[in-house]
Structure 1
Amino acid sequence: MDKLVFVVILAASLVTAWWSRGGKRHDEIHDYFVASRQFGGILLFFLAVGETYSLGVLTAFPGGIYLHGTPFCIWFIGYVVLAFPVGYFLAPLIWQAARRYDPVTVADLFRRHFNSRVLEILVSLIAILFMIPWGIIQFMGLTMVLQGLGFTLPAWVLMTAGALLAYTYTAMSGIRAPAYVSVIKDTLLLAAIIVVGIAVFRLPHGYRTALRGIDEPVFTGRDIRMMTTNILFQASGLFLFPAAIASFFTARSPQTIRRAMIAMPLYMVMFAFLILTAFYARGAFGPGLSPNHIFIDTARRILSPWLIGVVAGGAALSGLVVLASTCLVIGPLLTHNLLKGLTEKQQKSGAQFISVVYLIASMLGATFAASIAATMNNLTYFGLTQFLPGILIIGLNLTAPARAVAAGLITGVVIPSVLFLSGVDTGGINPGLIGLAFNALIVVTLTIYSRHGMSDNGLAGTRR
């Protein structure tokens, strides 16, 4: 029964992706990648939420609570909650910039605002480099969740099927497909999490078992610094992922974005049930289980088979939507920004080819490079959050030398990467926040210096 329900859900997602075409001209690049900037509040809400809540909701969050208890719960909830007011003010600025420059990618914003081809290349390379692990992690999570739910097919079969589905979504209607499929995904994911939480609560002594799993945290000064700086840094970067920025390009108006941002915190109701489930697992099973399987193992023990199929369907679509959206970001960064002179048709077909390459590479990475993927996942925020100073300058329509933004961006990426990979003790301060501080300092310093008579002979000039 569980596998039948699972197959029906995936079939429904394909029908939805096909229906999302709606007679639109998907040969036009702006419709294919940014839906001609015509998404209303509901679709934008589900698309942005789809980028924010991936398979980590079912794996990393309850697994982190199972391992680390209350401190992990406070950190995770804290940065997600803070990210929404950041997005409320930042996302409309991005939309206003998109209206001025008509971009397809985040690299377009930097090139057109700062009039710098080298800055466009730099932003494209950083975005691609730090998005590669995202696909690897989605395939790893997809395989882990489905096998944990009792799907005994080999990992490569599950990943190949996932890659085919993700590519099919994008080929059917571009960005519209993951947006519409996200409606199904989020509905199922939310329903599955709430059902598991309620089932735990209804178990004999379920609530008392969960209370037994709650620890009394003791925070050192280092712990507080670590939690505070992690929350600040990751909240600043959550909506700077290239796929998140691209989702803002699709909105009809800044008011549409603000309405979506106001509604997004309501989605966090699921965390209450995930927390209950995770603490129940701590109290009921004790240490020694695989953290990433905690939610899945609990669900299998207490749910009926058809509900297991619902959980599997929601989990699979969580990974597939992120994979499809990432393909629609990496493709144009290569064919539109790094390669010049291609027609719109060539850009679209080239992006689809790159999507296949990206999916295959991600599958291989998930199979052979799990340790590298885990390390790069920690680096992802270090890289992508460094877009913040440049995005603020673009969004506020300010003037700054292209060389200042490029120098800050390079410094901001290198410092946390070196600190993290070399194991330097930062006293509990997030290395990415250190890099971001140096990034902003360099941009401000070089901008002030250039305004005091130094000509900008750097990359290509200042904003036109």
Structure 2
Amino acid sequence: MTRFVFIAILAASLLTAWWSRGGRRHDEIHDYFVASRQFGGLLLFFLAAGETYSLGVLTAFPGGVYLHGTSFCIWFTAYVVLAFPVGYFLAPMIWNAARRYDPVTVSDLFCRHFRSRTLEILVSLVAIVFMIPWGVMQFMGLTMVLQGLGFTLPSWVLMTVAAILAYSYTAISGIRAPAYVSVIKDTLLLAAIVVVGLAIFRLPHGYQTMLQGLDDPVFTGRDIRVMITNTLFQASGLFLFPAAIASFFTARNPQAIRRAMIAMPLYMTMFVFLMLTAFYARGAFGSGLSPNHIFIDTARHLLSPWLIGVVAGGAALSGLVVLASTCLVIGPLLTHNLLKGLSERHQKRGAQFISVIYLIASMLGATWAASIAATMNNLSYFGLTQLLPGVLIIGLDLSVPASGVIAGLITGVTIPTVLFLGGIDTNGINPGLIGLAFNAAIVTAVSLRSRHGLAQTPR
């Protein structure tokens, strides 16, 4: 029954992707990558949520609560909640800039605002390098979740099927497919999490077991610095990931984005039930479980086979939507920004070819380079959040020399990368926040110097 429900959900997702075509011409690059900027608030809500709530919801969050208790709940939920008001103001600014410059990628925004081919190349490289781990982590998460739910096929078989499905979404109708499939994914994911949480209270001693897993956190000064700086930095960067920015390009108008951001915190409902599940696991199973398997192991312990199939379907679609969306970002960054002069038809075909290469590379990474992928996953925020000063300048339509943004971006990416990989102690301060401060300072200094020079120029 578990496998039947799971396969039915995947089949329904493919039918939904095909239905999303709607008789449109998907050979046009703007329709394929940004849906001709016609998404309303509802579709944008699901597409943006699909990028925000992925497999990490089922693995990293309950695993972190299982290991670290209440302190992890506080900073993790705080940064997600704070990200929504940031997105409420930042995302419409990005949309207005997109209306001015008609971009396909985030690199187009930088190139056309600052009139700099160098900046276009730099932003493309930063985006590609720091987005690669997401694909690897999705394959790792898909394999882990499905095997944890009792699917005994070899990991390469599971990953190959996942790659074929993710590519099928993008090939069928471009960005529209992940958006429409996200509706199924989010519904199933929320239902699965709530069902597991409610199942705990149906047990004779479920409530008492959950209370046994609660802890009384004691915070040191370092703990407080970690929580505050992590919250501020990651809240600033959550909607700067290239796939998130690309989702804003699809909106019909800025009001659609604001409506989506207002409704987005409703997803935080699932975090309550995930916390309950993690605390129940601490009380029921002690410290003997793998943190990343906490939700899955608890689901198998509490649910009937057909409900486990629903959990598996929601989990699989969570990873597949992210993989498909990432393909639709990395592809045009290479064929549209780094390789100039291609026709629209060749850009689309080239992006689809790059998607296949990217999926294969991610599968290999998930198989042989798990430790490297995990490290790069930590670095993703360090790199991509450094786009913030440039995005703010573009959104506010300010005049700043491209040289300042280039220097700031290089410095901002380098500092946290060196600090993190070098194991240098920052006394609890997020290394990315340190890099962002230097980034902003350099951009500001170059801008002020440029304006001062203009003021001194004889007329």
Normalising by structure 1, we get a TM-score of 0.98
Quick one: distance in 2 between partners of 1:193 and 1:422? 38
* Aligned-partner Cα distance in 2 for 1:334–1:430: 31
Equivalent position of 1:396 in the other structure: 396
| Cα deviations by residue, 1:381-413 (Å, 9 ceiling, x for unpaired) | 000000000000000000100000000000000
AA matched with 2:331: G
Q: 1:450, CA displacement in angstroms?
A: 1.1
CA distance in 1, matches of 2:241, 2:410: 17
Residue 371 of structure 2: aligned partner: 371
Aligned to 2:261: 261
Letter in 2 for 1:184: I
Q: Report the Cα distance in structure 1 between the residues aligned to 2:33 and 2:208, rounded to whole angstroms.
A: 50
Counterpart of 2:232 in structure 1: which amino acid? L
Query: Are 1:85 and 2:82 counterparts?
Result: no
State the match for 2:235 in structure 1: 235
Task: Give the letter aligned to residue 190 of structure 1.
Answer: L
Distance in structure 1 (CA, Å) of the matches to 2:427 and 2:270: 33
In the TM superposition, 1:113-262 aligns within 5 A as: 113-262=113-262
Q: Name the residue aligned to 1:286.
A: 286
1:38 aligns with 2:17: no
Secondary structure of residue in 1 paired with 2:425: coil
1:87-118 per-residue CA deviation (whole Å, 9 max, x = no partner) reads 00000000000000000000000000000000
Secondary structure class of the residue paired with 2:25: coil
SS of the residue 2:218 aligns to: coil
2:311 corresponds in structure 1 to: 311
Question: SS of 1:351's equivalent?
Answer: helix
Please tell me the residue identity of whatever aligns with 1:239: F
1:348 match: 348
Measured after TM superposition, the shift of residue 428 of structure 1 is: 0.1
Q: Identity of paired residues, percent?
A: 83
1:98: which partner in 2?
98
Distance 1:201 1:290 in 2: 23
State the one-letter code of the partner of 2:275. Answer: I
Cα shift at 1:204: 1.1
Helix, strand or coil at the partner of 2:452? coil
Instruction: Give the letter aligned to residue 129 of structure 1.
Output: V
Distance 1:200 1:246 in 2: 39
- 5+ long unaligned stretches in structure 1: 456-464
Q: Structure 1 residues 17-26 or 445-454, which shifts more?
A: 445-454
Equivalence for 1:63: 63
- Corresponding residue for residue 450 of structure 1: 450
Once residues 208 and 399 of structure 1 are traced to their aligned partners in structure 2, the CA distance between those partners, rounded to angstroms, is: 60
| CA distance in 2: counterparts of 1:95 and 1:339, whole angstroms | 25
Q: Per-residue CA shift, 1:184-222, capped at 9, x if unaligned?
A: 000000000000000011111111111110100000000
Distance in 2, matches of 1:282 and 1:73, equals: 14
Tell me how far 1:454 sits from its aligned partner.
6.6
Per-residue CA distance 1:132-159 (angstroms, 9 max, x = gap): 0000000000000000000000000000
CA distance in 2, matches of 1:294, 1:425: 30
Distance in 1 (CA, whole Å) between partners of 2:222 and 2:273 is: 30
Instruction: Indicate the RMSD between aligned Cα atoms, in angstroms.
Output: 0.7
AA aligned to 1:218 is V
Aligned residue in 2 for 1:387: 387
Q: Which amino acid aligns with 1:166?
A: A
Aligned to 1:301: 301
Q: Which amino acid aligns with 2:23?
A: G
Query: In 2, Cα distance between the equivalents of 1:334 and 1:128?
Result: 9
Distance of 1:226 and 1:359 partners within structure 2: 34
Instruction: Summarize deviations over 1:19-73 as a string: whole Å, max 9, x none.
Output: 0000111000000000000000110000000000000000000000000101111
* TM-score for the superposition, normalised by structure 2: 0.99
In the TM superposition, what whole-angstrom CA distance separates every residue of 1:416-464 from its partner, at most 9, and x where no partner exists?
Answer: 0000000100000000000000000000001101112179xxxxxxxxx
Count the aligned residue pairs. 455
Q: Secondary structure at the match of 2:453?
A: coil
Question: How far apart, in 1, do the equivalents of 2:267 and 2:201 lie?
Answer: 20
Displaced runs of 4 or more, over 2 A: none
Match of 1:459 in 2: none
- Find the counterpart in structure 1 of residue 412 from structure 2: 412
Distance of 1:286 and 1:217 partners within structure 2 = 18
Determine whether 1:361 maps to 2:358.
no
Distance 2:331 2:74 in 1: 36
In 2, Cα distance between equivalents of 1:233 and 1:144: 29
SS at match of 1:453: helix
The unaligned stretches of length 5 or more in structure 2 are none
Which piece of structure 1 moves more, 266-275 or 147-156? 266-275
Per-residue deviation, 1:288? 2.1
Cα deviation 1:362-383 (Å, max 9, x = unaligned) = 0000000000000000000000
1:330 aligns with 2:330: yes
